[in-house]
């Protein structure tokens, strides 16, 4: 089997409800979809969700990489030798993680379709579903509580609240949400790098009764000593998100005991293959893992889900980035029931077609 052709398309998708985080307001997203054709008729699907603030990529840079060095490297090659292919690509486009993630997931998709198995079973098959949180952006106290109640009514059992701009307002918001939804709903808080160490301690001290599951990326990613200080001074789990961009970051965080947990996003780290290496580092250091996402099509959410289902130390999922996208061409690649995310049982990633192609 050989790769015969690669197609890629840039699709801009609006969000039904724009949301605000500590450093930006998001109204729409652009994903790059691709198809890798093979000589035996199997086609692998992939998706990149470049975000300049996080991955230092643009849709244009991803398209240029796919149409240039990626196609040159892959066409004519055996797609089942994806470890060799990905190592070669990492040398050519070392600073294009979402482009690498798209290729990686398409090659895994081909592997699964060739084997007639879903990827989560090929990788280990630890569980068949996982609870996902759903995210509430920075809103007023009343709007935050209203959104929380609405999501709970929809069946979600875990909420992630965004903050990081005003610690006093964040404290009021998270306390009011807990009062509103009761003790049976998991709550996580993400400051998106917006806090100082002092802000972090104030927030944790004044939300003790909330019993947060996760305190995510409270401090700037470029100052690892700050998140380490927070981790050592608070009684709840502190998670690295923006501070974890690659395998080297995982090693530094683990070696220096800077966090309790890490958030692995395929778009940040370059795909499933790299996520598996980072997960091994985390497990060796007894760090718990959450699989997260950005504003991504259900296709790349499916790839993250396949990874999460396979490994026992991936205990949390935050895979809601597809839920609010209008006209997602890969809608249906995953399903949500009662707050749990389920894969499509089709071989590979579970996506049999991309609707606009």
pLDDT digits (tens, 9 = 90+) for 227-284: 999 999 999 999 999 999 999 999 999 999 999 999 999 999 999 999 999 999 999 9
Residue the block writes with tokens 């009062």:
179
Tokens of 304: 């993250």
H helix and E strand count, the chain: 14, 14
pLDDT at position 78 is 98
> Hey, is 13 helix, strand or coil?
strand
Structural contact between residues 40 and 76, judged by C-beta atoms closer than 8 angstroms? no
pLDDT at position 136 is 96
Tokens of 44: 């692998």
pLDDT at position 191 is 97
d(CA 322, CA 286): 30
Domain with CATH 3.30.390.10 in the chain: 3-116
Residue the block writes with tokens 């580092």:
281
pLDDT at position 88 is 96
Tell me the β-bridge partners of 188.
160, 214
Structural contact between residues 268 and 54, judged by C-beta atoms closer than 8 angstroms? yes
pLDDT at position 11 is 96
Give 353's DSSP letter: -
pLDDT at position 24 is 76
Is 3.40.50.300 the CATH classification of the domain at 3-116?
Answer: no
d(CA 103, CA 97): 10
pTM, to two decimals: 0.95
pLDDT at position 198 is 98
pLDDT at position 347 is 96
Concatenated DSSP letters for 138-153? S--HHHHHHHHHHHHH
pLDDT at position 356 is 62
pLDDT at position 354 is 85
Identify the CATH homologous superfamily for domain 121-343.
Enolase-like C-terminal domain (3.20.20.120)
Tokens of 191: 């400051």
Domain with CATH 3.20.20.120 in the chain: 121-343
How close are the terminal C-alpha atoms of the chain, in Å? 23
Structural contact between residues 257 and 234, judged by C-beta atoms closer than 8 angstroms? no
Low-confidence ranges of the chain (pLDDT < 50): none
Return the H-helix or E-strand segment holding 233. helix 224-233
**What is the sign of the dihedral through the CA atoms of 127, 128, 131 and 134?**
positive
Of 34, 1, 21, give the one whose Cα is nearest residue 294: 21
């Amino acid at each position: 089997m050989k790769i015969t052709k690669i197609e890629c398309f840039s699709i801009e998708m609006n969000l039904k409800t724009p949301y605000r985080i500590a450093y930006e307001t998001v109204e729409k997203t652009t994903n790059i979809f691709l198809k890798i054709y093979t000589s035996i008729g199997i086609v692998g699907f992939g998706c990149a969700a470049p975000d300049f603030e996080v991955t230092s990529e643009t849709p244009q840079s991803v398209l240029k990489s796919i149409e240039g060095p990626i196609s040159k490297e892959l066409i004519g090659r055996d797609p089942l030798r994806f470890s060799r292919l990905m190592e070669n690509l990492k040398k050519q486009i070392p600073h294009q993680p979402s482009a690498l993630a798209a290729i990686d997931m398409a090659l895994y998709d081909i592997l699964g379709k060739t084997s007639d198995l879903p990827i989560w079973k090929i990788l280990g098959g630890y569980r068949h579903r996982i609870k996902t949180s759903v995210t509430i952006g920075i809103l007023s106290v009343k709007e935050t509580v209203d959104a929380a109640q609405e999501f709970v009514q929809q069946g979600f059992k875990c909420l992630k609240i965004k903050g990081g701009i005003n610690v006093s307002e964040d404290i009021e918001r998270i306390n009011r949400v807990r009062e509103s939804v009761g003790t049976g709903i998991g709550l996580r808080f993400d400051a998106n790098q917006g806090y100082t160490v002092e802000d972090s301690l104030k927030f944790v001290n004044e939300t003790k009764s909330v019993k947060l599951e996760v305190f995510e990326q409270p401090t700037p990613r470029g100052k690892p000593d700050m998140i380490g200080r927070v981790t050592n001074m608070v009684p709840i789990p502190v998670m690295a998100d923006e501070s974890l961009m690659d395998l080297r970051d995982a090693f530094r965080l683990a070696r220096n005991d800077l966090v309790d947990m890490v958030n692995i996003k395929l778009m940040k780290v370059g795909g499933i293959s790299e996520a598996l290496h980072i997960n091994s580092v985390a497990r060796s250091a007894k760090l718990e893992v959450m699989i997260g996402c950005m504003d991504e099509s259900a296709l790349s959410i499916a790839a993250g889900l396949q990874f999460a289902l396979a490994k026992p130390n991936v205990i949390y999922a935050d895979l809601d980035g597809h839920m609010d996208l209008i006209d997602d061409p890969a809608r249906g690649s995953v399903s949500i029931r009662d707050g749990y995310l389920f894969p499509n049982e089709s071989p590979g990633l579970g996506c049999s077609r991309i609707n606009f192609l």
